[in-house]
Structure 1
Amino acid sequence: MGIQVYFIYPGDLDTATGGYRYDRRLINELRELGIKVETIALSARFPFPDARALEHAAHTLGALPSNALVIIDGLAYGAMHELVEANTKRLQIVALCHHPLALESGLTETQKNDFQYSETMALQAARAVIVTSPHTATILQSDFSVPAQKIVAALPGTDAVEFAPCNGNPLVLLTVASLTRRKAHDVLIDALASVQELEWQARFVGGEHFDPKWASQLRQQVNQLGLQQRIDFAGSVDDLLIEYQSADVFVLPSRFEGYGMVFAEALAAGLPVVAASTGAVPDVVPPKAGLLVPADDVAALSSALRRLLTDKKLRKKLQTGARQTAANLPGWRHSALKVTALLNKLTSDMRESP
């Protein structure tokens, strides 16, 4: 009899973010490997659940059969520690942590502390924790007291794709990220304003529904700086590959990234990258493929953009580096095999326990 796992996530699995794309692809790969995966949606109010959302989550976990293998996405997992603790002896619960909720930008000090406590308790109650980068594994060990032996790193995969020609005129600067504070579009807009005498067009691809107020502020910022003809808020798109292959440079100065799937996808398309040296980004983007600057540093970001926009030789050098890096990016099957090995181990341990 094959392994069955229940994969639990908040909201809509088709949501266009890196985290949900990781979930979708992992689920598909696990199924191809013979794992039976049943998907279950929780309230979209997570990671800020109200009483009704928590009641629904409690009912959902309570309805699962005893000893069931359960993977819970971190967007919900870190905000439901009491439910996890109440079910940890009955279920084989695995947390999937893209990055700690407490490290999200724009939180109040109270929210940050609440997430820190809740996620610490929930992660310690898990049978195992899947992370999407060694960097996140290190953070969970040092800041959330998660034992190293409980952590499995299953990096996001990439697919081999045709390289972008990178011959735009004007050059197209691509950003792929939901319009949230952590992604630092505000820093990028200010940096672009300081190089507006140069020839370029920018596309901001990403949904606005996670933080509509912040998205509105970004649009106002663009209008106030007179960049509305230069920066296109493209919203969510169905085919990101077209975006990557139509771009010349990928730029995203996130304040923190647990991994940063879009950086790997940009490299897979052979795009030079400009990013902030924060979180796991330096592990994904090597010096030969991109320019990394300090987070929240408008002047440094502006300088990097100016260099790339005016130095064709540098762009070509980084483009070559990106193409070389693409050859060594991890694949999705490798990630799924690591998760499958974990599920097999948990199943074996469960059978051997009295």
Structure 2
Amino acid sequence: MVIKTDEGGLWTLPHLDELRARGHEAVAVLPPGHEGRLRKALHDRGIEVVQSAFDFRFRPGLRGLRGLLGLRAQLKRLNPGVLHYHLYASALAVRLATLGWDVPKVHMVAGPLYLESRLIRAVERLLCRLDTVVIGGSRHTERRYRALGASRTTAIPYGVDVERFSPPSPAYRAAGRRALGVTDDTFVVCMVAYVYPPKRLTHRGRGIKGHDVLLKAWREFARERPDSRLVLLGGGFGPAGAAYKRQLQALCTETVDWYDSVLDVRDCYAAADVSVSPSLSENHGAALEAGAMGVPSIVSDAGALPETVDPASGWLVPRDDVAALVQALREAHDEFRAGTLAARAARARERTVARFAHEPAARAVADLLERVRRA
């Protein structure tokens, strides 16, 4: 398994656990660097970690070429039955490092953001043909790769741990709300997401998670319903993300609480009545964790987010549409006051367990890797 991060990417662990449970040997190739969360989790499992000779930064010149040749030599020494890689820089590196080498290559796509760049789509139309199989982390992404002409595509979600993320007990929910300083009759809306800085090639000048859209909608909504509280959970991703977060905080009102990232987001979901994912680009995102905990979601129509809700479990609004988001918040608030939001919460949990539990998803990935190896 090759991935360009040692901090994120914890959603790869169920795949590796399933493969090892079937008797396969798993090796992870990570970028050189510090001890991130993914690296630690792999070490804790006893999975061999190889520091990549390539740093996954594509710069012209001899340094980049030496890195790719070093990665090729490392992969040759490992002699893998299958190469499985996640994140776009990893895909580029593996494809280039294995040119002319007949080894099965499976690219699993965590999100569709980079495909929103016209330049990258043009490049990917050629390079995706070097993959044996492309696994879209959603049906949306799988369709996009099929349209690009990928040789073979399928869709398997990364999924969510529906045992770890489960509806809170009344005591847990009460404790979570006390920690936020809200009463039982306060309508609590949460958004769990890092603040990513604007990208140069996609949605220029805008953060992709849609914080600005939600904060504008909240100003209007909270004027009408001051018995509500918005909880934002997530710090800036890197220095540029932190700077962008400081810009966004100018849009906050007294009914908004913004906390930096924490290790356990379940405390936030336990206290919430509704989760909001107003992204401009997204895979399934936070809606899966929210749904698993029995929290209905309001999601934008960006990327794969529409796959996470149905009319009985949540709300779907057009991306970057402040008025539509305000209306969805009003409807959710009305259901909270009427006591009917609980039925929607139960449906959200049922739907998430049925479609997005990570264990069957990991089995499907392992099945595919085995088939590719035998072919």
User: Structure 2-normalised TM-score?
Assistant: 0.76
- 1:270, distance to aligned residue in structure 2 (A): 0.7
Tell me how far apart the structure 2 counterparts of residues 169 and 26 of structure 1 sit (CA, whole Å): 42
Q: Which amino acid aligns with 2:59?
A: D
Give per-residue Cα distances to partners, 1:254-285, cap 9 Å, x unaligned: 11223x14212211111111111232222221
Counterpart CA distance in 2 for 1:39 and 1:99 is 21
- Structure 1 gaps of 5+ residues are 1-6, 105-111, 350-354
CA distance in 1, matches of 2:59, 2:274: 41
Q: Do structure 1's residue 213 and structure 2's residue 240 form an aligned pair?
A: yes
User: Who is 1:3 aligned against?
Assistant: none
With over 3 angstroms needed to count, the CA separation of the structure-2 counterparts of 1:253 and 1:55, relative to structure 1, is farther
Match of 1:64 in 2: 75
1:116 is matched with 121
Identity %, equivalent residues:
25
How far, CA to CA, are the matches of 1:319 and 1:328 in structure 2? 14
Q: Distance in 2 between matches of 1:56 and 1:230?
A: 50
Q: Which residue of 1 aligns with 2:5?
A: 11
Q: Residue 185 of structure 1 corresponds to which residue in structure 2?
A: 211
How many matched pairs? 323
Matching residue's letter, 2:149? S
Mapping 1:186-205, distance limit 5 Å:
186-197=212-223, 198-205=226-233
> Post-superposition shift, 1:204?
2.2
Larger RCO (CA under 8 A, 6+ residues apart): 1
Task: State the shift of 1:53 in Å.
Answer: 5.7
Inter-CA distance 319–335: structure 2 relative to 1 (3 Å threshold): closer
Tell me the distance in 2 between the aligned counterparts of 1:25 and 1:54.
Answer: 33
- Once the two structures are overlaid, the 10-residue window that deviates more, 240-249 or 39-48, is 39-48
C-alpha change, 1:134 and 1:47, in structure 2 (3 Å) is: farther
> Aligned equivalents of 1:279 and 1:131: distance in 2?
12
Q: Is the 8 A contact 1:47 1:75 kept in 2?
A: no
Q: CA RMSD in A?
A: 2.8
Matches within 5 A, 1:1-354: 7-12=1-6, 14-15=7-8, 20-42=9-31, 49-51=58-60, 52=63, 55-65=66-76, 66=79, 68-80=81-93, 83=96, 86-87=98-99, 89-103=101-115, 112-142=117-147, 144-147=148-151, 150-158=152-160, 159-160=162-163, 161-164=165-168, 168-180=184-196, 181-197=207-223, 198-210=226-238, 212-223=239-250, 225-227=251-253, 229-258=254-283, 260-312=284-336, 313=338, 314-349=340-375
8 Å CA contact retained: 2:299, 2:306: no
Unaligned runs of 5+ in 2: 34-53, 175-183, 197-206
Aligned partner of residue 315 in structure 2, secondary structure: strand
Provide the residue aligned with 1:4 in structure 2.
none
TM-score w.r.t. length of structure 1: 0.81
What letter corresponds to residue 214 of structure 2 in structure 1? L
